[in-house]
């Protein structure tokens, strides 16, 4: 079986490429060319049926990922299924199942069955969790068990995986020589791999046997997302030597993986002050040959706990504007607690709005929808306005719940309505009233 990138290089337009072209408003040939270059990836494990084809990369709408999963404190398979469905209902493009306790195989399989969007994970979570259960010491992880587990998870239908191949002994040496960090380590999988390497004195097997990782991912045409295990967990650690060492390695590995016919993404950057976001994305794109960038956050402040979905939305809008391709949502519970279903919904909504803002800046030719919304608001055509909104049901509920005395106005201004008065003055001067709806 050939992967999407191999098919594209052979001049073949797959069913998935056709679907992405239709969804994004491009010709299938344009999508094929960018897939062949590795600038667009399409997570597509063929062992999973009825999966939606989602394109991630150059020229496409910035996509939103939602993450769910159990912890040792809160573990309910029913709750995770509800969260997965909620994420899909709210418009998430992809889903990561990141459970760290309970029957991890059962949770993963049930979540995959519950949705039709591509599902990914971090295999190190289950690898270290099950090793700890068996030996009471995660540092006893057997690399052969890890590789067997990756294949088992792919057999279940995962279409992308965050695999921490870019951590190696050189990266850890940078952490030690710089005196660790203000914010410590933020990646669970990355931190446990660092601990394993420290305890055993061995090299990271995912780095050492990178060709083997690629071969497994190719077998299932899954996207290898190069995990950001040394990402900054505080803005004062942003772009330190350890983070940059891993980023350079991941960008090199992205190139090597593409050469082997594997679909590749690069992950980053975590907590980054706003003035550094553009530079971070420029570095990833330049060093990786324009590989799709899966952005975690970025959070441009460390003090927003309880409202970190807003903190991250500001970072997400900025990163989307400057070229990020897939943004992982943050919920209000980030840094405080395991998200519940409502947190998931709020996180997806905030991130969808953020990447829409970024895409408006990134793609000026995709602003037509905003114009149509503005005109409907100007004309007080409330039902038409709902067609162009990201969250029409919420907007309608809010308006109906606080209905005005006069149907055309709203209770924000009542009889002091600027829109109404402006239309009275300029009704005969309107030129921009013959625009037809667009899918842009």
pLDDT digits (tens, 9 = 90+) for 49-82: 889 999 999 999 999 999 999 999 999 999 999 9
Structural domain boundaries of the chain?
4-365, 367-429
DSSP codes, 395-427: HHHHHHHT--SSTTS-TTTGGG-HHHHHHHHHG
Strand ranges (E), 231-307: 264-271, 293-299
Over range 177-186, report the average pLDDT: 96
pLDDT per residue over 98-115, tens digit each? 999 999 999 999 999 999
Read off the pLDDT of residues 131-153 as tens digits, 9 standing for 90 and up. Answer: 999 999 999 999 999 999 999 99
| 379-409 pLDDT tens trace | 999 999 999 999 999 999 999 899 888 888 8
Average pLDDT, the chain: 95
- H or E stretch at 19: helix 15-24
pLDDT higher than threshold 70 for residue 436: no
Query: What is the arithmetic mean of pLDDT over 411-415?
Result: 89
294: pLDDT confidence band, cut at 50, 70 and 90? very high
- Quote the pLDDT of residue 434: 52
Contacts of 103 (CB under 8 A, 6+ apart): 77
Task: Give the separation between CA 298 and CA 303, rounded to whole angstroms.
Answer: 14
Q: What is the pLDDT of residue 439?
A: 39
- Separation of alpha carbons 258 and 273, rounded Å: 31
HSE, side-chain direction, 13 A CA sphere, residue 191: 10
How confident is residue 432, by pLDDT bands cut at 50, 70 and 90?
low
Cis peptide before 144 (omega within 30 of 0): no
Tell me: pLDDT of 11 over 50.
yes
For residue 222, CA distances in Å to 46, 105, 212, 377 come to 9, 18, 14, 44
**pLDDT band of 96, cuts 50, 70, 90:** very high
Instruction: Identify how many contiguous H helices and E strands the chain contains and give both numbers.
Output: 19, 10
Q: Are strands 40-41 and 56-57 parallel, antiparallel or unpaired?
A: antiparallel
Residue 429 above 90 pLDDT?
no
For residue 93, pLDDT over 50 is answered with yes
For domain 4-365, is the CATH number 3.60.150.10?
no
Residues sharing a CB contact under 8 Å with residue 378, sequence separation 6 or more, in sequence order: 419, 422, 423
In this prediction, residues 85-89 reach a mean pLDDT of: 98
pLDDT-above-70 percentage for the chain: 98
pLDDT 10s digits, 191-246:
999 999 999 999 999 999 999 999 999 999 999 999 999 999 999 999 999 999 99
| pLDDT surpasses 70 at 437 | no
């Amino acid at each position: 079986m050939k992967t999407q990138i191999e098919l594209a290089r052979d001049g073949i337009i797959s069913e998935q490429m056709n679907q992405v072209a239709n969804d994004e408003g491009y010709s299938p040939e344009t999508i094929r060319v960018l897939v062949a270059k590795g600038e667009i990836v399409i997570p597509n494990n063929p062992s999973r049926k009825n999966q939606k084809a989602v394109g991630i990369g150059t020229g496409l709408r910035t996509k939103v990922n939602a993450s769910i999963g159990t912890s040792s404190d809160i573990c309910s398979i029913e709750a995770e299924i509800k969260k997965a469905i909620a994420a899909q209902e709210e418009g998430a493009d992809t889903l990561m199942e990141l459970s760290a306790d309970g029957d991890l195989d059962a949770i993963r399989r049930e979540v995959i069955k519950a949705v039709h969007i591509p599902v990914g994970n971090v295999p190190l979570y289950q690898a270290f969790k099950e090793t700890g259960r068996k030996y009471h010491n995660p540092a006893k992880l057997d690399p052969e068990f890890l590789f067997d587990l990756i294949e088992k998870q792919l057999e279940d239908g995962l279409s992308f995986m965050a695999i921490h191949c870019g951590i190696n002994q050189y990266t850890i040496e940078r952490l030690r020589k710089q005196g660790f960090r203000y914010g410590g380590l933020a990646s669970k999988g990355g931190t446990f791999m660092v601990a394993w390497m420290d305890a055993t004195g061995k090299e990271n097997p995912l780095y050492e046997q990178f060709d083997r990782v690629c071969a497994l991912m190719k077998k299932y045409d899954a996207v290898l997302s190069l995990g950001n295990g040394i990402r900054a967990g505080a803005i004062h650690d942003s772009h330190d030597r350890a983070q940059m060492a891993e980023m350079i390695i991941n960008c090199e590995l992205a190139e090597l993986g593409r050469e082997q016919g594997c679909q590749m993404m690069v992950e980053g950057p975590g907590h980054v002050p706003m003035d550094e976001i553009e530079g971070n994305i420029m570095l990833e794109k330049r060093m990786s040959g324009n590989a799709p960038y899966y952005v975690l956050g970025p959070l441009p402040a460390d003090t927003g706990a309880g409202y970190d979905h807003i903190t991250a939305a500001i970072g997400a809008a900025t990163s989307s504007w400057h070229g990020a391709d897939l943004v992982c949502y943050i919920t209000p519970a980030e840094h405080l607690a395991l998200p519940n279903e409502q947190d998931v919904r709020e996180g997806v909504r905030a991130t969808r709005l953020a990447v829409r803002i970024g895409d408006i800046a990134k793609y000026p030719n995709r602003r037509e929808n905003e114009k149509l919304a503005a005109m409907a608001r100007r004309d007080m055509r409330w039902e038409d306005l709902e067609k162009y909104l990201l969250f029409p049901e919420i907007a309608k509920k809010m308006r109906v719940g606080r209905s005005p005395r006069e149907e055309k106005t709203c209770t924000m201004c009542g009889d002091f309505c600027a829109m109404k008065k402006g239309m009275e003055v300029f009704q005969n001067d309107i030129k921009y009233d013959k625009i037809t709806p667009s899918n842009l």
